[in-house]
A and B are shown apart, each in its own frame.
Chain A
Amino acid sequence: MRSDVKTWIGAGVTAPVRLLAQMADVPLRQWQRLAGRGGMIGFFLLPNMLIFGVFVLVPLGINFAYSVTGGTAVFLPDRSYVGGANFDRLLDCTNHFDPNSCRDDVFWIAVWNTVRFVGLQVTAMTICAMITALILNSKIRARAFWRAVFFFPVLLSPVVVGLIWRWILQRQGLLNYLLYQFDAEQVNWLTERGWAFTAAVGVSVWAHVGFYALILLAGLQAIPRDLYEAAEMDGTKPARAFWRITLPLLWPNLLVVIVLSLIRAVQVFDEVYVLTGGGPGTSTLYLTQYIYEVGFASTLRNSGVASAASLLMGGVLVVLTLLQLGLTRWRDRK
């Protein structure tokens, strides 16, 4: 009875779609007769490639053009050619490790903040994901439940993640209450430079660790069980089995996870932006926010500089993505 109802509802939903598809068949048959199978291939590819072209490839071209033009105009023809001036402005430093010595000090603050963020976040993420995956792969009860526990924050929106933690980390928030319970000193998590940075890293690990743990778990589960059984029969200690069996066989997956989390960490923006707004001062200002602020949020939009910065970040991402694609192929061949 219930399945009947379901079938009826399903039919009700799909009927209009079917009707539309059926109606589309008449003109498409004509087109097929006219243009042959090749024409149909074109038809199938067209919508997706058109959107790709207009919203990915054309903008990419414009990006290069923007980076060598100046002024505040949005449309290319209205902009003046400035050559490498935008890149000069970004890269001009007497000492690249000291943002104060750079012409665009905010850019270099963002660069070094991003580097520090990426370093700490990827390390913490990999370690946490690895431990979680190993534990989820061991003989525990209710594995599906525990997997879901760690996966839960992955689906939350960055705005929700940012606000949840802003609420917990505020001066009179839950975390300070817990510290107060244990007679520890309370901390202004989001308004002290060092703590805000730590909070940004921590929240971002919290939000994504489940995703990477899941990939590692899939890798662990692909390791044949009999290897461990054989090792056990030979009297191998579990620690040795980990170093000699688990790690070498998991290595490709681990590398993919590291590179993937690198790619994501370089682009960090939304949850940190909602959490701290880049502050206090510039202590959690990262590259994407720099681009957003220079290109959109400030009153004097400087699309040229924002594009130049985007391309510099894009260059890093291209290298990392090529690395990831190569690694994935290498892993899948293994």
Chain B
Amino acid sequence: MNPIRFLFRRKGGKGWHWTDLVTWVWLGTGLLIMFGPALWLVLSSFKSPTQLAEFPPTILPYVSQTAEVGINGEVKELPLYTAVTEDGQVRTLAEVRRIGTVAQMVDPDAPDTVYKVNINDRRPVRQVGFEIENYLKPLQAFNFGLYLRNSVFVTTVATLITLLTNSMAAFALSKYEFRGRNGVMLLIVATLMIPLSVNLVPLYSVVSKLGLLNSLWGVILPTVATPTGVFLLRQYMLTIPDELIEAARMDKASEWQIYWRIVLPLTAPALAVLAIFSVVWRWNDFLWPLIVLSRKELFTLQVGLNTFAGELNVQWHFILAMTVATMIPVVVVFVFLQRFITAGIAGTGLK
């Protein structure tokens, strides 16, 4: 079949309709707008500061070529340019110095003749290349390694605690009949209405009274009792037949054993969804860590990155690289687990 016809054939094989055009325009622009910015970020993060200042910008990152030139017995590393010299010839020259609009240039192979070239008549010789320094420097010199460790700690510990406490509560609320169960459920629903942004000020005083200011635990604890997590797990546990539990009780299993040997393994799919969400939530948290943490060495990546961007307004090459580094874990989650996440959202309206 003709490849173009193949690409443009429609499911159902009927003729064209204006909605097809709308569909393709929407999807095409969508692809550009949704992926474009992140792609642009990644490409920019590999550019050198001089290249970032360039306008118009190039799409790919380039690295300028240099040559070792011996002048007066000294060997120097000089940038290479393609230049049009006074005699009208195009040469590849190394720039020794620049005075005003005139550049003094020499041929790397014959460094004795000096050419004077107007700076508008020369273009740098460069190749596609990546400025890895942008990534290495902040990790060593600006505490980013530390921020990374803090973020990983907060994310891991908070997710583990969330899974444990939420699943225990969900187990009690789904597998036991007791007085006040509806009250507890109502209480949890009520907390849905009080997002963190409403409780910021008093929560700060509670956390500070507990001595958790400037501690990663102060970031972790207020976030772990997620009402959505309890809901999600309870909903799932309700589908586990009670007969299984009765049978286990006959075999003299303790209630704790019923929880972790029978109910918990059967809830694995829901636990996985909650784990993924919790990891993304805690990794991305910004406002609360910003309030609790004021000591630099305790910053999480998000807070560190924001502070860094505020302080180093001009050093975009570092900021961009660190933004990419902060984005990587989420992109990994997206690539491998996107299917579970979308299924989780569609099923529960969780975010």
Contacts and interface: CB of A to CB of B under 8 A. Distances in A.
B301 to A, nearest CB: 8
Query: Which applies to chain A's interface (DSSP): helix, strand, loop or mixed?
Result: helix
A131 interface: yes
A85 interface: no
Given A56-B225, A66-B202, A269-B287, A139 B12 contact: yes
Interface stretch (B32-40, B78-86, B138-146): B32-40
Contacts of A44: 168-169, 171-172, 259
Contacts of B27: 135, 140, 146, 149
A281 interface: no
A312 B179 CA distance: 34
Given A45-B184, A75-B209, A60 B194 contact: yes
Interface in B108-138: none
Contact of B34 (A150, A166, A318, A328): A150
A158 B221 contact: no
Nearest to A307: B201
A148 interface: yes
Contact of A164 (B38, B225, B330): B38
A84 to B, nearest CB: 18
A41 B108 CA distance: 82
Given A60-B202, A218-B346, A25 B287 contact: no
Contact of A238 (B19, B33, B44): B19
A181 B53 CA distance: 18
- Chain A interface size, under 10 / 10 to 19 / 20 to 34 / 35 or more: 35 or more
A144 B330 CA distance: 19
Contact of A152 (B184, B254, B257, B334): B334
A147 interface: yes
Nearest to A180: B56
Interface stretch (A100-108, A117-125, A243-251, A291-299): A291-299
B40 A168 contact: yes
Interface stretch (A1-9, A47-55, A90-98, A189-197): A47-55
B345 interface: yes
A139 B199 CA distance: 46
A300 interface: no
B34 A152 contact: yes
Contacts of B33: 206
A45 B172 contact: yes
22 contacts: A49-B184, A51-B225, A55-B203, A62-B202, A63-B198, A75-B205, A135-B23, A149-B31, A151-B341, A159-B302, A159-B326, A160-B305, A163-B320, A165-B37, A291-B201, A292-B287, A292-B291, A310-B201, A311-B198, A314-B194, A314-B198, A321-B192
